[in-house]
Amino acid sequence: MKSLGIDLGGTKIAAAAVEEGKILDYHRVDTPRTGIEDVLDSMAAAAKAVLALHPDIRAIGVGSPGPIDFTRGMVVFAPNIPGMENAPLVSGLERRLELPVVLENDANAAGLAEHLYGAAREVKSSIYITISTGIGGGMVVGERVLHGKHGLSGEVGHMTLQPGGPLCGCGYHGCWESLASGRAIAREASFSYRRHVPTVEAFKRAQAGEWKALKVIDNAAYYSGLALANLLKAFDPDLFVIGGGLSQVGSFYFDKVQAAADSFCQGFGRVEIKFAELGVDAGVIGAASVAAGEA
Amino acid sequence: MKSLGIDLGGTKIAAAAVEEGKILDYHRVDTPRTGIEDVLDSMAAAAKAVLALHPDIRAIGVGSPGPIDFTRGMVVFAPNIPGMENAPLVSGLERRLELPVVLENDANAAGLAEHLYGAAREVKSSIYITISTGIGGGMVVGERVLHGKHGLSGEVGHMTLQPGGPLCGCGYHGCWESLASGRAIAREASFSYRRHVPTVEAFKRAQAGEWKALKVIDNAAYYSGLALANLLKAFDPDLFVIGGGLSQVGSFYFDKVQAAADSFCQGFGRVEIKFAELGVDAGVIGAASVAAGEA
């Protein structure tokens, strides 16, 4: 079924007409920093640009950052977009577009897209992990994204892996995100070099063999491996799919993550890890898939 | 549907005729320490004692400790029962009883029983945790027990919560089981008092206000709360059901676990915990439910 997917990001809003995982038409606008009404207007404008080419589309799916209140169709909060506290995305877009709108968490949407059409298309259950500035996730069993009682399912970035560890954006210490996200790597590298070292530079220095950077990278890989091993022991999915900015670093980093995960799973089972295949398109494809009722 | 459940334990084998979660007849024998053939003979004898009263039963379910190879119908290993390495329970019992046999992990079976007929009967998804000498678990969504790719789903006792922590029976350090099981509490209490202190005594001393024992108990509750919080963030089940020997300690201990869990989940969601309701019967009821195809 053809449907419209909208991916709300911190800097860009993408809308696309999607049919069975293929993007037919695509439109992108900047994300306003001026409040929820402007965000809704821009999302509607991007959607209308695509709907004009596909007047037969009857269902819209939206992927948004932040925890979602699925019952009320609201984004609870999204720290990177001003004005997104208890944001009524479903009612705001339905009023503007006069079509039914379904809301999903962005990592869940991307995980669903990878599960249906990407790296996990041949397995029954997968956990999608996005490692960028932060760490998020989505769990898919069969063709369904798990939401959980509070809509928290997949908030794996905030599992505590080192009690009393580094402070996380969520207010707790020692979350996976505080130990192994892009932001965490930049923080630790900057501390080690006593000046600002961005994530990309930390990886370059590690690949060049600098021990200070290697220690930071190895530590992050250790905790990512530990997190995947814990998820294997609790849930045992067929496959872990890794997306997000850090997946671009490729095997130099993820061979370390795989080795760390395996080191925690001797006698249990092998941690199967694949890189995401749909790239930035996973967001709109997943959002459209939710709308198409494929979720 | 009426079916037969067999619960294989480290000291006792129980067989019961069960219909919609109710035990109709029950037979119990000791678990032989003399190898797999004797274990199979005793299981068959217990089963036959019940089947003689219920010749209409056509399906048998078995709950066994240890990781299960679901494809081959074997117990991979069960440390507390001699001779249980790659034990062919399904074929061994089908030959002796001439009825179809379905094998399930004992914690999964108990979790299913609690989900269908016990503490979690009114919710859609639950995670059952058994805290005794060790820590095991079972995850139920809808009316199905999750198995996972390697049959590991629910092996939550071996999630690493304190890297480099105490050595666990599984060979790794800092597993939940190594930090908060009955055995872990006895180990830490014995260390603190410089003599052997069994788990029950440690709880008694803590309830009497002895600070050495309280510190041990509080530490175990902290890690159990942490584990439940991590599971909430990853899967967000409707309910956690706590069974096993330690659940007998009641609210003195589990109020601490609840407080610890909640302290990790401010801004996420409340960790709902209930005690198991079916007691030792959960094993046979769950095993019978698996056989009845209710799983």
pLDDT at residue B294 is higher than 60: no
Are A271 and A242 within 8 A, CB to CB?
no
Query: Tell me: the pLDDT tens digits for A196-216?
Result: 999 999 999 999 999 999 999
Chain-chain contact of B148 with A268 (C-beta, under 8 angstroms): no
DSSP secondary structure string, chain B?
Answer: -EEEEEEE-SSEEEEEEEETTEEEEEEEEEPPSS-HHHHHHHHHHHHHHHHTT-TT---EEEEESS-EETTTTEE---TTSTT-SSB-HHHHHHHHH-S-EEEEEHHHHHHHHHHHHSTTTTSSEEEEEEESSSEEEEEEETTEE---TTS-TT-GGGSBSSTT-SBPTTS-BSBHHHHHSHHHHHHHHHHHHTS---HHHHHHHHHTT-HHHHHHHHHHHHHHHHHHHHHHHHH--SEEEEESGGGGGTHHHHHHHHHHHHHT-TTT----EEE-SSGGGHHHHHHHHHHTT--
CA distance B173 to chain A (A): 9
The residue of chain B nearest to residue A146, with distances taken between CA atoms, is B235
Query: Tell me: the pLDDT tens digits for B118-148?
Result: 999 999 999 999 999 999 999 998 888 999 9
Whose tokens are 């089963």? That residue is B47
The residue of chain B nearest to residue A129, with distances taken between CA atoms, is B234
Residue ranges of chain B whose CB lies within 8 Å of a chain A CB: 125, 137, 139, 141, 146-156, 158-163, 170-172, 222, 226, 229-238, 264, 266-270, 272
Query: Tell me: the pLDDT tens digits for B147-200?
Result: 999 888 999 999 999 999 999 988 999 999 999 999 999 999 999 999 999 999
Are B145 and B104 within 8 A, CB to CB?
yes
H helices of chain A, where? 36-51, 89-97, 106-117, 176-180, 182-193, 199-207, 211-235, 251-263, 282-291
Low-confidence ranges of chain A (pLDDT < 50): 295
- Average pLDDT over every residue of B29-37: 95
Q: How far apart are CA A181 and CA A51, in angstroms?
A: 37
CA distance B238 to chain A (A): 5
Q: Which region, left, alpha or beta, applies to residue B57 given φ > 0 means left and ψ of -120 to 50 means alpha? A: beta
Determine the residue among B235, B266, B268 to mutate to test chain A binding: the one whose Cβ has the most chain A Cβ atoms within 10 Å.
Answer: B235
pLDDT of residue A294: 54
Report the predicted TM-score, pTM, of the whole model to 2 decimal places: 0.93
Which residues of chain A neighbour B241 with C-beta distances below 8 Å?
none
CA distance B34 to chain A (A): 25
Query: What does the angle CA A98 – CA A146 – CA A26 come to, to the nearest 5 degrees?
Result: 40
Query: Tell me: the pLDDT tens digits for B64-96?
Result: 998 899 999 999 888 789 889 999 999 999 999
More confident of the two residues B267 and A230: A230
What's the ipTM? 0.92
Which residues of chain B neighbour A129 with C-beta distances below 8 Å?
none
Give the DSSP letter of residue A75. Answer: E
Which residues of chain B neighbour A272 with C-beta distances below 8 Å?
149
Q: How far apart are CA A122 and CA B152, in angstroms?
A: 20
